[in-house]
Amino acid sequence: MNDLMSTVDWSRAQFALTAMYHWLFVPLTIGLSVIVAIMETLYLRTGLERWKNITKFWMTVFGINFACGIATGLILEFEFGTNWSNYSWFVGDIFGAPLAIEGLLAFFMEATFVAVMFFGWNKVSPRFHLLSTWLVALGVSLSALWILVANAWMQYPVGMRFDPDQMRNVMDNFWAVTLSPVAMNKFFHAVSSGWALAGVFVAGVSCWMLWKKHNISAARSSLAIGAWVGLIGMLATMFTGHGSAVQVARVQPMKLAAMEGLYRGNVGQNLVAFGILKSDPAATPDDPMLFSVDIPYGLSLLIDMKTDTYVPGINDLIDGRTITASGDTVYGESYDDRILSGKAARDALRGYNAARAMGDTAAADECLEVLENNYASFGYGYLPDAQAAVPPVGTSFYAFHLMVLVGGLLLLVLVVLVFAAKWRTAWLEHKWLHITGMLSIALVWICSQAGWVLAEVGRQPWVIQDIMPTTVAISDIPSSSVQLTFWIFAAIFTALLIAEVSIMLNYINTASKKNLENND
């Protein structure tokens, strides 16, 4: 049993390691592909050679990052088979479909047109080359779409039914899986956050060029485009972030409670703008904060745009407690009840298989009815107790608030950069602006990683929400094997990241010294 839990923990750590390294490259790839396409569009419209040179400069940066993203992404998908084979068997027919579409459609479209984008400047017409660049940007976003559809389904499993004869889930509504509100909101949130990150990155590198006095005119042009794309992306990210909160409140209320450090909810619930949790917040559920600055009614307004909406806390969800608008307390299904329902579903499944083996159709039908009535809580039958359904509160809370606070700061920076590029060009000569832009590069990745951590840690212990916990999703392999590959991957990914950053910095430093204003 100890080795089993060690395998679970190391498998989760390895997947988290791979996903976080992969997410370093993905948003920059998404955003840079659009920025490069915009720059090439300006080249085709104006005919100015400087725009072609600027486009090629950022296109090379995109290419370096694109290659690293592919390397980490492929390993991530292989881990579903190596580390999470029970999960892959249980829902492979559903989860595998969007990943297959991503590989067959989006990835091949990227791979086809990225060759034209890099090597077709003098081999195809300018219009076809521009079309290829935009198709690469579209392909990158489509790749994100299908991957996020798969991820969203894990957090909101719809469009499926459980087939007891196969002992696995099968898809019965492709469009319900693809167009679920969680999937659509995740997609637009991830894509817009990619625009924001890439915009900050381009603006920050442009600030460095201004600081070094390299290609000042080209740097100002790049800064303007980066700042505008970043600002649009950040505003869209905040809008879709609100949509994410609404969806989380509807389908993952425990995640919402954890990311707010909320143990006892209420009607007209406040939102913690900034706070510090006590060392053991669960010990004082009525007052889990050591210090906090609250926005009155903020959480109720965030999820429902009403001041009298009830928001349940962690203990409320565990106990099945709800407070009505009139202040009355009502008890519904508790987590202990769901654990009993999950165990009933598991027993019914065993009974169904036994009855089928003996040819007892009537008993099999009875067991099947019990299974179907309790399947919504199937995964709870594997939990040792109700507390096991609570995600890491501290990690979820600080990831959420770090993301929001840093995101707000970046919005302010982007507004200043846009204002400077459009109306106060004299500001572009000041060191404070250059330093602010460069520091923002680190901040935007912190913000992006915090959002990813919240999305994945906040849904623990579930691999599939309410259906399958991590403890039953892993492969039957010794923990020592996972530990070994964890450290191998950690070394490889770290070396890959160091190599990418080194190559990128060397290229930016070298290429920025060349004259980007003409062909010289």
Residues 114-144: tens digit of each pLDDT: 888 888 888 899 899 999 999 999 988 988 8
Task: Determine which of 56-65, 205-214, 322-331 has the lowest per-residue pLDDT on average.
Answer: 322-331
In sequence order, the 6+-apart residues with CB closer than 8 A to the CB of 298 are: 269, 270, 271, 273
User: Per-residue pLDDT for 519 more than 70?
Assistant: no
Phi, psi of 290 (to 5 degrees): -75, -35
Global pTM reads: 0.91
Q: Which of 315, 331, 347 marks a domain boundary?
A: 331
| Domain identity same for 350 and 453 | no
| Domain identity same for 223 and 263 | no
Q: How would residue 515 be classed by pLDDT, with cut points 50, 70 and 90?
A: confident
CA distance 269 to 316: 13
Q: Which of 182, 313, 301, 302 is nearest to 254 (CA)?
A: 313
- DSSP type of residue 47: -
| Domain identity same for 231 and 262 | no
Domain count, the chain: 3
* Percent of the chain at pLDDT exceeding 70: 98
SS3 percent helix, strand, coil of the chain, rounded to 5, is 75, 5, 20
| Domain identity same for 14 and 149 | yes
Q: How would residue 54 be classed by pLDDT, with cut points 50, 70 and 90?
A: very high
CA distance 331 to 491: 51
330 pairs with which residues across the strands?
A: 322
Cis peptide upstream of residue 126 (ω within 30 degrees of 0): no
Domain presence at residue 398: yes
List the domain range (segments joined by +) for residue 135: 2-252+391-511
CA distance 224 to 219: 9
Q: How would residue 226 be classed by pLDDT, with cut points 50, 70 and 90?
A: very high
In sequence order, the 6+-apart residues with CB closer than 8 A to the CB of 327 are: 267
| Domain identity same for 233 and 133 | yes
Burial 315-328 (b: 16+ CB within 10 A, else e): bbbbbbbebeeeee
CA distance 168 to 155: 18
pLDDT of residue 112: 82
CA distance 433 to 417: 8
| Domain identity same for 226 and 344 | no
pLDDT of residue 520: 41
| Domain identity same for 437 and 487 | yes
| Domain identity same for 324 and 339 | no
User: Per-residue pLDDT for 218 more than 90?
Assistant: no
User: Per-residue pLDDT for 471 more than 60?
Assistant: yes
Domain presence at residue 483: yes
Domain presence at residue 181: yes
Domain presence at residue 32: yes
Distant-in-sequence contacts of 343-350, Cβ < 8 A, 24+ apart: 343/381, 344/370, 344/374, 344/381, 345/370, 345/371, 345/374, 345/375, 345/377, 345/378, 345/381, 346/378, 346/381, 346/382, 348/374, 349/164, 349/167
- DSSP type of residue 105: I
Domain presence at residue 431: yes
CA distance 185 to 6: 35
In sequence order, the 6+-apart residues with CB closer than 8 A to the CB of 358 are: none
Amino acid in the structure at residue 279: S
Q: How would residue 500 be classed by pLDDT, with cut points 50, 70 and 90?
A: confident
CA distance 365 to 164: 11
In sequence order, the 6+-apart residues with CB closer than 8 A to the CB of 290 are: 275, 276, 277, 278
> DSSP states of 126-165 as a string?
HHHHHHHHHHHHHHHHHHHHHHHHHHHHHHS--SEEEETT
Q: What is the gyration radius of the CA atoms in the chain, in angstroms?
A: 25
pLDDT of residue 337: 94
**C-beta separation of 146 from 99 below 8 A:** yes
For residues 520 and 350, the model is more confident at: 350
Mean pLDDT (whole number) for 243-265: 93
Domain presence at residue 517: no
3-state secondary structure 255-303: HHHHHCCCCCCEECCCEEEEEEECCCHHHCCCCCEEEEEEECCHHHHHH
What is the chain's mean pLDDT, rounded?
A: 89
Amino acid in the structure at residue 429: E
User: Per-residue pLDDT for 334 more than 70?
Assistant: yes
| Domain identity same for 411 and 442 | yes
170 pairs with which residues across the strands?
A: 161
Helix (H), strand (E) at residue 168: strand 168-171
Q: How would residue 215 be classed by pLDDT, with cut points 50, 70 and 90?
A: confident
Q: Which of 344, 363, 382 marks a domain boundary?
A: 382
pLDDT of residue 105: 72
User: Per-residue pLDDT for 483 more than 80?
Assistant: yes
| Domain identity same for 448 and 359 | no
Q: How would residue 518 be classed by pLDDT, with cut points 50, 70 and 90?
A: low
Domain presence at residue 92: yes
pLDDT of residue 318: 94
Instruction: List C-alpha distances in Å: 450 to 20, 259, 458.
Output: 10, 12, 11
**C-beta separation of 146 from 98 below 8 A:** yes
Residues 310-332: tens digit of each pLDDT: 999 999 999 998 887 777 778 88
**Structure tokens belonging to residue 485:** 């590959």
**C-beta separation of 311 from 269 below 8 A:** yes
| Domain identity same for 350 and 212 | no
**C-beta separation of 299 from 252 below 8 A:** no
| Domain identity same for 268 and 139 | no
Residues 23-48: tens digit of each pLDDT: 888 899 999 999 999 999 999 999 89
Domain presence at residue 363: yes
Mean pLDDT (whole number) for 165-191: 92
CA distance 409 to 459: 27
